[in-house]
Amino acid sequence: MRLELTVQYATARKGLPHKSSIERWARAALADLGRGGAALTVRIVGARESAALNGRYRGKQGPTNVLAFPFSAPPGAKSDVLGDIVICAPVVRREARAQGKRVPAHWAHLTVHGIMHLRGYDHRTRRQAAAMEGREVRVLARLGFPDPYLV
């Protein structure tokens, strides 16, 4: 599959995953998409930007680990654009430590999780969560990462 991936680093890059890692995780999350191509942006931010976006778009206070902004093409238009995901670097590091996870594994999980949201998956109900989490676990296993929900 053709993947057009833009990675934006809007915070200090030390300790952040390289674009090649994010691309590998994205390709795995999109492997069964069933279309010729996909385009998405991954923006890595600090706590301030994450908190501002979380407040503006979700009405929630403080930074969050990942936000997904799916793109919907206008009626009759074709587009490979899936949307954008925004990942908060300090939250990823803090959560990985608190949950006893390797930091790269948590980065991979949140990248895959965000892409699943762009694909239309959600976790508002138990049934939705089971479907989404099951897909994430399978993708992460193919990448060599453990089940992120076994904390």
Residues in the annotated binding site: 113, 117, 123
3-state helix, strand, coil in the chain (%, to 5): 45, 20, 35
H-type helices in the chain, by residue range?
Answer: 19-30, 47-58, 89-99, 103-118, 126-142
Binding residues for Zn(2+): 113, 117, 123
Contacts of 94 (CB under 8 A, 6+ apart): none
97 is written with which tokens? Answer: 């430590």
Give yes or no for a contact between 66 and 87, defined as CB atoms under 8 angstroms apart: yes
83: left (phi over 0), alpha (psi -120 to 50) or beta: left
